[in-house]
Structure 1
């Protein structure tokens, strides 16, 4: 339907039911869609549209178009106050001018035909309710308008709202030409809604197309649309129209029509939120309406509705708006049970988006080594690690869950692995000659004089270091099968003895390289705390200046020698499983920041070593596990299960021994490319792949063509990486499927249990290693991710809350060692919580709750 259908195009006011969705230019997005729905037979409140022709006539009769164009031309979206100034200028003009009599007559004539009752006056812009941009809430709506003067004022305010500051900025972000937009105004009979709300015909969070979401609140729908209330929430299966989930809201206020015009907010009566707003039959009817509207438009819809009770059980529904759902994510691929357990661990590994050199050196090699281990355990059914990271031009765009490929080998391979490794005792894995050999090789690689090496020799050092990594994983291949068998055996035996709750205690108090590292740090902190000179220095000097200050005094120099020995032994601890991020020894200031925190208070006593032994002895004395038949089996399973956690932690410790070496080689090559004017700084080498580095160094110095090629490649990848800065590499929905915790009124965050217990304290947001110094004893550590390098902070934290990770994460394991509660995989704890906010951490149930500061 086009404008020439309406009286030669000179149409100022047209009944709503005359429009179709194609009439966007005349009726605006809201008007066109409501007309479409009305013509399709859906119940839409009767009304009319004050068209964009009326808006054009308003500007023409007042000679405003040129002045608007001039004001818009002065708008600079990069200036902070530009939108506010343009908005004030244009809105002042629109409020000052007179409305032509021709427009007033047409508006009032149509109003009288609606019996002059209460109406809703709603903006309908030509850039609105579009498939790619909703423009939701950018222009004004006025409810319960009851007389002609108020109606004309509301229409003028709608026209002016086209030029509100937020509307101007939204159009600028959506790249909509400001000069092209116009505004129509929809006027409809007011619906005396008893309940109203919003319905999405697809799940806007998960992207699931087979779910329909309904939010409902008593009174007018403005309370729901504006976010003023926590409404009742229903998730409906579209196939069966069955309510899959129902959460009653708090319904803090109700918005209702006021006698004499306008609306008022009414506070909820105590106890009124104890039952659902909509009857079940009404939910079924509304769901079917949503399905029918989606089918009519051929795409998922965002629908506003109102419900009026009548003599039927289902009541009467009015459709107030329907528009395409924007920013709807693609549905998640199916995620298998095992992969749900693995994804939080992967999220912990990839704290930052890997660079091309990460994925083609250390990070990629570790992934493939883990993949090869899985092949030895379950055969070719194992997921392919090369399928996990989707790349574009070498830049990692996103993580895709690799799929298991079920086959008969899955049933056979684990037993073959158990049989093949039956002679490898997990409790004696550290005595394996392979481990000693690997440590010697790693230390030898570390001593290479990279500056004296040729380009080719440095590349060879990289390949030697990378070939070393799978050999460490051989230790897992040898000892994990029996350790896993012990883990399963322990779980079954505890279930048999009805003591499943003892599993956590029995697998605590395990000595690992992580706890050894933290103990070494604690010894350094004790030296600082007990030495007056060092104590004073660490208390008054900022962490970034500690290195220089320590060098300036004799006591400081003596301490630095001991500190350097610590870094030599433990400094390869990684801050991320990538070479683009420095290890401890690459940025020792970060370790000094940890020591500054640890030195403030003494370490609390941890009794886990005695606790697990007491629990073991109690089980042997008081349950069937102490019987002749089960005693030996129980003790062996316990030893092997405990060994599992040690092997997992310590092989991770050893596999990172070569990480600083690989980083040093990469930066050495980057430095040479910088000298050749191919890079602006050595760190840009991480934007290159290993195979490209090998090629670029064949001729030295590189030709001008190669230099140009490198610069173009790095610039292109850097720009692509920057464009992904706000896009999480791992879809947060993949993390949410792992959480089984339930929300409640006092619940701020839900996640998975990492370490049991309850603790309270002020939240302290620590985003990365540079902020370690923020944490104070008794704070709740809130972090985006953690790894072993973070765990020394656990010795002072009251509890730990992490955006990523799961129960098998390094952070969770160490939290259990220190006996502090941990909630993993909250997804957005670092964004939802604020520094200093008092919270209660329920590690047993994976919950973070509101709390009040201790007085």
Structure 2
């Protein structure tokens, strides 16, 4: 916090490792224990006596003495590891000791803090949570003690309601220790992040000016850390001081109204990281209009006044799974658990959940729905090729128009083209893609249950794989062909091996007629609408920067074993004969025709989903390019500070400015607020699902994330063994070694180019129908999704065996 220019009392920090080394000899019962052992500890009173007799190193005395100034009072603050643990809430259990004026006072306070680790209440919680001995650790801060007029704790979100743009304050007069210890009842305040605090004083303790100062500086802290924090602060007579900040670790899956999820949004990329205002507003409109039309047209929802179908929370878009499940319950054969498994949705129920049933009351409506769905599916299959062709023609036409824009193009012409792309071309593309997604989701729900009554799950996965030339695989093929050109030319190969990626890029720019340079240009022209983080408008496309392509190629040139593995992974399309052989052991000749027909339909629908996703990616590329053009012009005119500022504005805000309904000042304020909102959640891993707060305590217990056995949901068949590689961000993909098993939270489209060189894929979220699962099946990669805590329970270097059909994962002994 000092880096932000905020006032933080001078202090001395003792890390967990250093402090543990000071006290471990006093409690030999903890020495040489395995991590999961439950030691037999002496009583708290005995530990206190041992610590009293313990001598600390003279070096520590000297370091603390160097900190101390005459006539200053100090406070010793504890910060236990369990207080900041991701799945526990332990704050306030450990001691903080104030009013230390001598070094002996501070040493005694240190020992009291250490002893508080072993208080009966602390140990009871530790044992109840089945935490290992590594959790019996703390760090300590020795700070100058401020003579506080008022003190408090601030949360950068509302922990009671999960309002993600609201500060929550608890304030008392005087020192904060009485607040932490619960000796007084604090004044409680909530302040919206971006609200204007007026002259009317809403606090009995803090002035309006103090509240304004807190609001401003707490938001600075939130954006600095990039995740929700709780902050201890105090006001002296003249100044605001911040004492310490730590993550808010127990954010539950609750929201005031409705049930929401990021599934598909997260794995598709749009909710993989904070979603700036423009992208959010685009998704909000296309999702609402298309899903609403689909539900009404297919008699899946009673009212034409459908609820809001998406929200922006934790700077990520969530969609209304409550409404969708209500609609799906009207589809013949719907089973809630199977639906949730396909998408990777968190389950707040036991058993199979809701099942649609044929009764006298429901049969008529179910038949009507089935008929509507069949007709909708037939229309989509009949028109898909023509829609695809028209969208590609529109894309090419707009791409040429954007490329023709120059510094002398009239501002109004740029604005008109921007409005046309956003409101017409993009909507047409995205609504077509979403429509295909909805058709696929409904048809899979209807067909899969029936097919699995005849076929094993492993065979089902085989039948919906090897779709043939899926568009998102084609750029990888092209990259590998360029690598072949490089490694089979000795001169090229040596240059690529000995030079850095930046130097290679410079070389190619100076020698544009080289074969490798020409092929890279062809790649950029053909697949330049892709990027390393697709559906993130802030990330440049490959067409914008040759260096991005060089970086990808360099990794394969340096690691030829990855190329060998990748080339082996490309699969051919399943033929009719192969489909027949796969189902032959399980169906009669009378069933064969119907089963083959259903499988072919599902394969066709899955293929078109990926093709329309590819088209969607193209149109997001266009949106980025035209928004950059408009942003560059606005920046030159001084309307905004940076070209990229427009990406933080919702499309309605930009339209209002274009049509003179919004002032420049308001435009810039919106940029500032939305940028801050995204920054404040950039390092936060939000819950994938949010649910209403009005659920029973018993149901809440079902939602608590506790480590489970290593298993998930199989998404592609195959049993493989290999070393684990834990990665949490696609920028670290270069760390992958050929033949490793990639373990990550989820894989959006930015991970796809790594699939060719891995042996298996394990994710904590995702579903059988997510983009990553489809692409993994094209590469023939065994895949397991929805593996709770996989990135925590597995470690890089472990050897595991995974079963992509059953979802089981086994850690091999001695495999680390």
Structure 1 length-normalised TM: 0.57
Judged with a 3 Å threshold, the aligned counterparts in structure 2 of structure 1 residues 833 and 77 are, in CA distance, closer, same or farther, namely: farther
What residue is the counterpart of 2:708 in the other structure?
A: 743
Secondary structure of the residue aligned to 2:684 is coil
1:446 aligns with 2:446: no
Task: Pick the aligned partner of 1:560 from 503, 517, 539.
Answer: 517
**Rounded Cα–Cα distance in structure 1 between residues aligned with 2:410 and 2:617:** 25
Q: Are 2:724 and 2:743, in contact at CA under 8 Å, matched by a contact in 1? A: yes
**Rounded Cα–Cα distance in structure 2 between residues aligned with 1:662 and 1:387:** 23
What residue is the counterpart of 2:646 in the other structure?
A: 685
Task: Pick the aligned partner of 2:773 from 797, 809, 812.
Answer: 812
Task: Pick the aligned partner of 2:741 from 780, 786, 797.
Answer: 780
1:635 aligns with 2:596: yes
Secondary structure of the residue aligned to 1:361 is helix
What residue is the counterpart of 2:136 in the other structure?
A: 226
Deviation at 1:799, TM superposition (A): 1.9
| Higher Rg of the two aligned structures | 1
What residue is the counterpart of 2:373 in the other structure?
A: 418
Q: Are 2:276 and 2:674, in contact at CA under 8 Å, matched by a contact in 1? A: no
Secondary structure of the residue aligned to 2:758 is coil
What residue is the counterpart of 1:198 in the other structure?
A: 124
The answer to which of 482-491 and 687-696 deviates more is 482-491
Q: How does 1:766-777 map to 2 (within 5 A)?
A: 766-777=727-738
Q: How does 1:26-425 map to 2 (within 5 A)?
A: 77=8, 82-84=12-14, 143=43, 145=45, 164=76, 166=78, 198=124, 214-215=128-129, 226=136, 328-330=250-252, 332=254, 342=263, 348-361=269-282, 364-365=285-286, 368-370=289-291, 372-377=293-298, 378-379=300-301, 386-390=308-312, 396=315, 399=318, 401-404=320-323, 406=326, 411=365, 414-421=369-376, 423-424=378-379
Q: Are 1:84 and 1:165, in contact at CA under 8 Å, matched by a contact in 2? A: no
1:650 aligns with 2:615: no
Q: Are 1:362 and 1:662, in contact at CA under 8 Å, matched by a contact in 2? A: no
Judged with a 3 Å threshold, the aligned counterparts in structure 2 of structure 1 residues 730 and 437 are, in CA distance, closer, same or farther, namely: same
Partner deviation per Cα, 1:765-790 (whole Å, 9 max, x = no partner): 55545434333322333444433342
What residue is the counterpart of 1:273 in the other structure?
A: none
Q: Are 1:740 and 1:752, in contact at CA under 8 Å, matched by a contact in 2? A: no
**Rounded Cα–Cα distance in structure 1 between residues aligned with 2:513 and 2:679:** 45
Q: Are 1:761 and 1:780, in contact at CA under 8 Å, matched by a contact in 2? A: yes
What residue is the counterpart of 1:435 in the other structure?
A: 388
Judged with a 3 Å threshold, the aligned counterparts in structure 2 of structure 1 residues 409 and 828 are, in CA distance, closer, same or farther, namely: closer
The answer to which of 658-667 and 454-463 deviates more is 454-463
CA RMSD of aligned residues (A): 5.4
Segments of structure 1 that go 5 or more residues without pairing to the other structure are 1-74, 93-140, 187-192, 201-212, 229-296, 298-325
Q: How does 1:387-786 map to 2 (within 5 A)?
A: 387-390=309-312, 396=315, 399=318, 401-404=320-323, 406=326, 411=365, 414-421=369-376, 423-424=378-379, 426=381, 432-448=385-401, 449-451=404-406, 452-466=408-422, 467-472=424-429, 475=432, 487=444, 491=448, 494-511=451-468, 512-553=470-511, 556=514, 558-574=515-531, 575-599=533-557, 600=560, 601-602=563-564, 603-606=566-569, 609=572, 616-618=579-581, 621-627=584-590, 630-697=591-658, 706-731=663-688, 743-744=708-709, 747=710, 750-786=711-747
**Rounded Cα–Cα distance in structure 1 between residues aligned with 2:760 and 2:704:** 19
Judged with a 3 Å threshold, the aligned counterparts in structure 2 of structure 1 residues 357 and 401 are, in CA distance, closer, same or farther, namely: same
Q: Are 2:75 and 2:99, in contact at CA under 8 Å, matched by a contact in 1? A: no
What residue is the counterpart of 1:12 in the other structure?
A: none
Q: Are 1:583 and 1:660, in contact at CA under 8 Å, matched by a contact in 2? A: yes
What residue is the counterpart of 2:198 in the other structure?
A: none
**Rounded Cα–Cα distance in structure 2 between residues aligned with 1:485 and 1:149:** 68
Q: Are 2:719 and 2:803, in contact at CA under 8 Å, matched by a contact in 1? A: yes
Task: Pick the aligned partner of 2:782 from 815, 821, 844.
Answer: 821
**Rounded Cα–Cα distance in structure 2 between residues aligned with 1:565 and 1:645:** 28
Deviation at 1:706, TM superposition (A): 4.5
Judged with a 3 Å threshold, the aligned counterparts in structure 2 of structure 1 residues 756 and 163 are, in CA distance, closer, same or farther, namely: farther
What residue is the counterpart of 2:197 in the other structure?
A: none
**Rounded Cα–Cα distance in structure 1 between residues aligned with 2:671 and 2:312:** 19
**Rounded Cα–Cα distance in structure 1 between residues aligned with 2:721 and 2:807:** 14
Deviation at 1:573, TM superposition (A): 2.5
Partner deviation per Cα, 1:229-276 (whole Å, 9 max, x = no partner): xxxxxxxxxxxxxxxxxxxxxxxxxxxxxxxxxxxxxxxxxxxxxxxx
Secondary structure of the residue aligned to 1:360 is helix
Secondary structure of the residue aligned to 2:315 is strand
**Rounded Cα–Cα distance in structure 1 between residues aligned with 2:781 and 2:620:** 30
Partner deviation per Cα, 1:278-305 (whole Å, 9 max, x = no partner): xxxxxxxxxxxxxxxxxxx9xxxxxxxx
1:799 aligns with 2:760: yes
**Rounded Cα–Cα distance in structure 2 between residues aligned with 1:144 and 1:472:** 67
Judged with a 3 Å threshold, the aligned counterparts in structure 2 of structure 1 residues 353 and 481 are, in CA distance, closer, same or farther, namely: closer
Secondary structure of the residue aligned to 2:540 is coil
Deviation at 1:180, TM superposition (A): 6.7
Q: Which has the higher contact order (CA 8 A, sep 6+)?
A: 2
**Rounded Cα–Cα distance in structure 2 between residues aligned with 1:344 and 1:481:** 14
**Rounded Cα–Cα distance in structure 2 between residues aligned with 1:330 and 1:678:** 40
What residue is the counterpart of 2:115 in the other structure?
A: none
Secondary structure of the residue aligned to 1:349 is coil
**Rounded Cα–Cα distance in structure 1 between residues aligned with 2:435 and 2:253:** 40
**Rounded Cα–Cα distance in structure 2 between residues aligned with 1:541 and 1:648:** 41
Deviation at 1:437, TM superposition (A): 1.8
Q: Are 1:785 and 1:802, in contact at CA under 8 Å, matched by a contact in 2? A: yes
Q: Are 1:429 and 1:479, in contact at CA under 8 Å, matched by a contact in 2? A: no
Secondary structure of the residue aligned to 1:509 is coil
Secondary structure of the residue aligned to 2:124 is strand
